[in-house]
A and B are shown apart, each in its own frame.
Chain A
Amino acid sequence: MQPPRFSRALVVGASSGIGAELVRQLVQKGAHVAAVARRKSELDALAHSLAGAQGKVIVRAHDVTDVGDVPLAFEELVRALGGLDLFIYAAGVMTPVGPEEYDTEKDLMMLDVNLGGCVAWGNAAARLFHTQRSGTLVGIGSIAGDRGRKGAPVYGASKAGQDHYLESLRNRLAERNVRVLTIKPGTVETPMTEHLEKLVMPVNAERAAREILGAARGRLWNVRYVPLRWLAVSRVIRAIPSFLFRRTNV
């Protein structure tokens, strides 16, 4: 079977970081891409910077927590693209949480963006891919979902939930010839990680996006750590017994 060609793609969370870089690389390869994000000005700037590229960009401002707007936004964009081959959910927030902080509003907001938005958009894309029996659906998760860390209870929970959701979609859609890929970036230099003092083994967004698209085109991975060395790190972290893990600052 030939690797999928992505001529029509939709990226949610496209205004900065990995999402913006994914749009850039897809458009430079000639794809028509719908870029969705909350901040219209950033999307416009992205589209402007890609004005001379081979492909084209359509932008739409949308807040992923507005789940009622998703069906219409999805339909408008897919109609404008003339179909859909690739869907990527790259929206995510990580708000700093203090060691003694238990702020429900802040936590639920993270769940809404990272998990609720992923489910709302993921369902819309899954429904189309299911019925058309083709497509590639990619969710940008995180290594943070692999283990419950002291520092990010709900960010980690949202990513663990996303991981589980995407695995279910993968199993459900395999028979329909639809590929579902979970990406688990390690530390990537993006606006989301700017507030962190020290990044361990960081890569830039450009490289992360390149690896993500490579994994999406291939058929090898169901869950892909980006960069790949984080696969080994994750295995080690998962193996640490709980009574020791709680003493670490990971």
Chain B
Amino acid sequence: MYETADREARPSRAALVGDSELMDAGSDPPRGTEREPRLHRAFEYVEGWGMAVGARSRVLRPRSVEEVLLCYEAARRDGVTLGLRGAGCSYGDASVNRAGHVLDVSRLDRVLSFDRESGIADCEAGVTIADLWRHTLPRGHWPMVVSGTMFPTLGGAAGMNIHGKNNFKVGTIGDAILEIDVVLPTGELVTLDRQRRPDLFHAVIGGFGMLGTITRVKLKTKRVYSGEVDVKGVSSAHLGAMMEYIDNHTAEADYLVGWIDCFAQGAKRGRGLVHHARYLAEGEDSRAEKTMQLGYQSLPSSILGFPKSEVWRILRLFNHDLGMSLVNWTKHQAGKLEQRKGFHRQSHAGFNFLLDFVPNWKFAYGRGGLRGLIQYQVFVPKETAHAALSEVLRRSAQRGHTAFLGVLKRHRPDPFLLTHAVDGWSLALDFKVTPENRSSLWDTTDELTQIVLAAGGRFYFAKDAVIGPATARAMFPVGARERFLALKAEVDPEHLLQTDLWRRVFADPSERFTAGC
């Protein structure tokens, strides 16, 4: 099902009409067709998912390892850098490259194999999380780690080392990855795992595409016995109560995530709703055969009879402080009602992919003129988390930038070199960006960053749009940044692979390629 006609070399029209004379005539192929399929490319506006940052670039979409090498050659020939991109789901500038071309891996989209006994999937890097679960669930497995949206590619997910609502339990996606193929800028194709070049393996995962193009990802998935999870909502009156609930249930829950009403301040600061979910054991779901079918997982196409594709237009009416404080208040009250329901069943897709529930909801933030949102997600060790996160919520509101959405998660450390995960907590805040508030918002996040750094916190490149080099120097464990830069110098000495994020956070005046070329 992942083989498409598009993948095959297209015969020229002359071949289709069987006109051998046309095929043979002259050196030029007839009527604009080509004998060799050309590397697919387009000139587009490449932006972060939050729409607040972007630039026009040539986007190359290779369909094989050989074509990845052609992309490297093309960038070298044009004297520009190359930024790697998956599905473009990172909120900020992680896959934007205003100083060169962009290599988009989404056409490397075949599931190569799946073993239903071991649950091991071997996929090309452009296979999305949606492709993966759709392949594995009818075969009794669910990905170990999924993001809040199903659209990221596995290559992108590995490059950013994404996590899900179960980070406290199973770690990041890197922890589920067994092996990756990487095309290094030197042209070498290497297979990496925990035995073969473990240093590079642990740096490429979470290395935000700066060390090479991941072309294949082999990862394990989890055996499940139902297409549903058992979920309950637990309303929390303030941040401390929410953190206490989550900490007390990490042993029994498989997923824990807290939604926060960022408009509530004072004693109610950090109030919200925890979703606590667990997998069903074998035999618990008497309808398992049905619930594990794809049709059962599909998200509804309408809300109260209103087509979901148009719902963002309604959300737009509420996309201001007053409207969103009302929406958050209503959601909090609804959460209290939800708590009364106790445990109830929800499909894996319905529970995990909340961000996909309303298509294009981000358009509620605006569709043009650098309007959009940034997600400012901070990771703070457990010892300092409560005070720091509470202060972040207080200070952002005080500065006039209340997040329209806040999400709290529990994390655990992992062995990846540039990991964002700490033994602690993260708070993700969606801030609205407009041309008018931009400068003040960036000033505010600078202030918040100081709070987070003082608490020993970190940031996450899949979300970040605001930190600078000083923060990157301060936030990683001692020596991690330097080891990463040494690996970069080894595998990409000419600094071919760059993005706006790289130049923003790792800016080095000695580099050969510079912004603006």
Of A66, A75, A175, the residue contacting B58 (CB under 8 A) is: A75
On whether the beta carbons of A128 and B367 are closer than 8 Å, the reply is no
Residue of B nearest to A83 (CB): B56
Q: A74 on the interface (CB 8 Å rule)?
A: yes
Instruction: Compute how far the CA of A68 lies from the CA of B47 in the bound complex, rounded to whole angstroms.
Output: 26
Q: B486 on the interface (CB 8 Å rule)?
A: no
On whether the beta carbons of A116 and B43 are closer than 8 Å, the reply is no
Q: Which residues from A are CB-within-8-Å of B34?
A: 68
Query: A66-B32, A112-B32 given as contacts; is B368 within 8 A of A78 (CB)?
Result: no
- The number of residues on chain A lying at the interface, defined by a beta carbon within 8 Å of a beta carbon of chain B, is 26
Query: A71-B42, A75-B58, A124-B42 given as contacts; is B32 within 8 A of A177 (CB)?
Result: no
Q: A134 on the interface (CB 8 Å rule)?
A: yes
Q: Give the Cβ gap from A191 to chain B, nearest Cβ, in Å.
A: 23
Q: Which residues from A are CB-within-8-Å of B367?
A: 133-134, 176-177
- The number of residues on chain B lying at the interface, defined by a beta carbon within 8 Å of a beta carbon of chain A, is 19
Q: Which residues from A are CB-within-8-Å of B42?
A: 71, 124, 127-128
Most interface-central of B45, B46, B309 (chain A CB within 10 A): B45
Instruction: Compute how far the CA of A116 lies from the CA of B45 in the bound complex, rounded to whole angstroms.
Output: 24
Q: A132 on the interface (CB 8 Å rule)?
A: yes
Of B33, B41, B309, B368, the residue contacting A133 (CB under 8 A) is: B368
Residue of A nearest to B34 (CB): A68
Query: A175-B360, A176-B367 given as contacts; is B32 within 8 A of A68 (CB)?
Result: yes
On whether the beta carbons of A75 and B43 are closer than 8 Å, the reply is yes
Q: Give the Cβ gap from B361 to chain A, nearest Cβ, in Å.
A: 13
On whether the beta carbons of B43 and A65 are closer than 8 Å, the reply is no
Residue of A nearest to B51 (CB): A133
Taken residue by residue from 24 to 60, chain A's Cβ proximity to chain B (1 for < 8 Å, 0 otherwise) reads as 0000000000000000000000000000000000000
Query: A133-B368, A177-B368 given as contacts; is B32 within 8 A of A74 (CB)?
Result: no
On whether the beta carbons of B43 and A128 are closer than 8 Å, the reply is yes
Q: Give the Cβ gap from B56 to chain A, nearest Cβ, in Å.
A: 7
On whether the beta carbons of B31 and A128 are closer than 8 Å, the reply is no
Which residues of B30-76 are within 8 A (CB) of A? 31-34, 38, 41-47, 56, 58
On whether the beta carbons of B43 and A134 are closer than 8 Å, the reply is no
Q: A108 on the interface (CB 8 Å rule)?
A: yes
Instruction: Compute how far the CA of A127 lies from the CA of B56 in the bound complex, rounded to whole angstroms.
Output: 11
Q: Which residues from B are CB-within-8-Å of A231?
A: none
Q: Which residues from A are CB-within-8-Å of B46?
A: 131
Q: A67 on the interface (CB 8 Å rule)?
A: yes
Of A74, A109, A112, the residue contacting B43 (CB under 8 A) is: A74
Q: Which residues from B are CB-within-8-Å of A133?
A: 45, 367-368
Q: Give the Cβ gap from A48 to chain B, nearest Cβ, in Å.
A: 28
On whether the beta carbons of B368 and A124 are closer than 8 Å, the reply is no
Residue of B nearest to A130 (CB): B44
On whether the beta carbons of A131 and B47 are closer than 8 Å, the reply is yes
On whether the beta carbons of A116 and B32 are closer than 8 Å, the reply is yes
Q: Which residues from A are CB-within-8-Å of B41?
A: 71
Instruction: Compute how far the CA of A66 lies from the CA of B38 in the bound complex, rounded to whole angstroms.
Output: 13
Q: Give the Cβ gap from B391 to chain A, nearest Cβ, in Å.
A: 36
Instruction: Compute how far the CA of A133 lies from the CA of B38 in the bound complex, rounded to whole angstroms.
Output: 27
On whether the beta carbons of B32 and A134 are closer than 8 Å, the reply is no
Q: List 5 A-B contacts (CB under 8 A).
A: A67-B32, A71-B42, A75-B43, A124-B43, A127-B44
Q: Which residues of B contact A (CB under 8 A)?
A: 31-34, 38, 41-47, 56, 58, 309, 360, 363, 367-368
Report the 3 A-B pairs with minimum CB-CB distance, sorted nearest first: A132-B45, A75-B43, A131-B45
